[in-house]
Amino acid sequence: MRYRLVIFDWDGTLMDSAARIVSCMQAAARDAEWGELSAESVRNIIGLGLPEAIAALCPGIDVERAERLRSRYAFHFVEGDTTPMRFFPGVEAGLVRLLGNADQRLAVATGKSRRGLDRVFRESGSGRWFHASRTADETRSKPHPLMLEELLAELGVDVGEAVMVGDTEYDLEMARALGMDRVAVTYGVHAPARLAASRPVFTAEAAPELFDWLHGA
């Protein structure tokens, strides 16, 4: 066990959900009469809180249209879109393996809303694996480090005993701001070169490789 606490991003790190996020955001922009958003531009903002993501995607958008886009995104993600979302291969087995050590703590730090994270916890049955979680609507959005600070305080873990695992520069820069170790996964949404700029202590190309390293193999 390399770290007492492992903090995971969700979308693009544990769950293969980028395609659904992209299609739902594109549909929401059309509904809000903003126009077409490229898949690349949407992939770039995955990991941010929804208000921050909309502001980055739609510079100058007014409050009313931003709210319309937000509500339509929520609709499409929950009800209107059936793009499959599954854990990346090896994730479920890897989490269970980590939890085989009684002292191991696992947490989630995500750009999702609390309602969204609780829904996916419930639907996937995965909530029982995590000792704590933070979402963007109950604290500051990434890359601000507040959600990590809150998780460390809640679980009573020193920053030197924790690591952040993520697929975006927002994840890694959030940890870097605290001096926390960070691990990059390249199977998510940001390119390896972009992740490397945040100086991760390890880079994994697949989930089994990630969990082997976290377990100390």
pLDDT in tens, the chain (217 residues): 789 999 999 999 999 998 889 999 999 999 998 989 999 999 998 988 889 999 999 999 999 999 999 999 988 888 766 677 799 999 999 999 999 988 999 999 999 989 889 988 998 999 999 999 999 999 999 999 999 999 999 999 999 999 999 999 999 999 999 999 999 999 999 999 999 999 999 999 999 999 999 988 5
CB 148 within 8 A of CB 176: no
Q: Are residues 99 and 75 part of one domain?
A: no
List CB contacts of 175: < 8 A, sequence separation 6 or more.
Answer: 7, 145, 148, 163, 164, 166, 181, 182
pLDDT of residue 185: 98
Any bridge partners for residue 203, and if so which?
A: 184
Question: Which residue, among 214, 153, 134, has the nearest Cα to 182 in the 3D structure?
Answer: 214
Determine the pLDDT at residue 35: 86
- Give 209's DSSP letter: H
- Gyration radius (Cα) of the chain, Å: 17
> Total structural domains in the chain?
2
Q: Quick one: pLDDT at residue 80? A: 65
Do 25 and 9 share a structural domain?
A: no
The pLDDT of residue 173 is 97
Question: Are 31 and 69 spatial neighbours (Cβ–Cβ below 8 Å)?
Answer: yes
Judgement on whether residues 10 and 112 belong to the same structural domain of the protein: yes
Are 170 and 119 part of one and the same domain?
Answer: yes
The model's pTM: 0.91
- Tokens read off for 163: 């690591």
Check which CATH number belongs to the domain holding 126 and give it: 3.40.50.1000
According to the model, what pLDDT value does residue 217 have? Answer: 57
If DSSP codes are grouped into helix, strand and coil, which group holds residue 5? strand
- Domain extent, residue 166, equals 5-16+87-215
